[in-house]
Amino acid sequence: MTKRKGSDFAGVGVAIVTPFKNGALDIAKLKEQIEFQIASGVTFLVPVGTTGESPTLTHDEHERVVSEVVQLASGRCKVMAGTGSNCTAEALRLTRWAAKAGADASLQVAPYYNKPTQRGFYEHFKAIAEEVGIPHCVYNIPGRSAKNIEPETMVKLSELPNITMVKEATGSLDQCSQILNATNLTVLSGDDSLTLPMMSIGAEGVISVAGNIVPGDLLAMVKAALAGNFAEAACMHHKLFPLCRDMLSLATNPIPVKAAMKLLGRDTGELRLPMTELEPKELESLRGTLAKYGLLK
């Protein structure tokens, strides 16, 4: 198989939660989480993405979390900082800062709410790629951004040297195939439960939510798939599937993953409005899933 542009990030990236305590950043808990992830062998960490509640972090907090993760990772794994915005100037500012702080790459979400044209998408990502020289991963998630970055636009973006990856979260294997057929971008799944199906057609890993809980199991599945051991990977997929689905189906991410981490004693579970805790019925369902997985008695 031809080596793709962003293959240095093939594997498992974990979109880490941002821990809070009494409304403020909980840096001590963040450090614990980073050590847990690195000990599990993950390929890279993704701070201040959607799972990290970036929409409700102040600019100072955003920069603090990126800085802490880069310093704590200390070269033991890569860091792909979430620096996207629906304002190109703001995305540029955040991305410049992350690059200066030592991030290995940036995650650039599709501009949300203002629904740019396909030309607008292209010009937005082009401006960032031309200004900041680190690798960039385009994050296509129309369920949150309200508009799809079409495959034809991805083809144009792939011609820019340091746009090297796409986090593909459309849920469409056809779109994934189109991108893989027409570009040399590394495709990373943006949906845990679709990681193995996407890897069966050429994707090279995942940026994971469930990895906050079971990074080692996700890594085992992805490594098996990258090695072509799809029977082994399928066994892991079916074990992981109920947990992965709960992370997205019980409530909006990151509500379920923070609830799971609280149940496991790994986070306070604290969220910032407008995110609110799981309802009691949803929490019991999650508790049952964690128990069946073997994570809770």
Which CATH number goes with the domain that contains 16? 3.20.20.70
Q: What's the whole-number mean pLDDT along residues 137-146?
A: 96
The catalytic position among 29, 78, 147, 167 is 167
The DSSP call for residue 192 is: G
pLDDT band at 297 (very low <50, low <70, confident <90, very high): confident
Q: Are 49 and 82 in contact (CB under 8 A)?
A: yes
Q: Is 250 inside any structural domain?
A: no
How many domains is the chain built from? 1
| pLDDT of res. 3 | 87
Task: Tell me the residue type at 85.
Answer: S
Domain coverage including residue 37: 7-227
Question: Is the pLDDT confidence value at 219 over 60?
Answer: yes
Q: Is 34 inside any structural domain?
A: yes
Q: Is 252 inside any structural domain?
A: no
CA distance 216 to 33: 14
For this structure, is 258 an active site residue?
no
Tens-place pLDDT, residues 225-234: 999 999 999 9
Q: Is 236 inside any structural domain?
A: no
Tens-place pLDDT, residues 149-193: 999 999 999 999 999 999 999 999 999 999 999 999 999 999 999
CA distance 265 to 80: 26
Q: Is 142 inside any structural domain?
A: yes
Q: Is 41 inside any structural domain?
A: yes
pTM: 0.96
The H or E element spanning position 179 is: helix 173-182
Q: Is 255 inside any structural domain?
A: no
Q: Is 13 inside any structural domain?
A: yes
Find all residues with CB under 8 Å of 238, minimum gap 6, and list them. Answer: none
For this structure, is 293 an active site residue?
no
CA distance 175 to 88: 25
The catalytic position among 29, 78, 139, 258 is 139
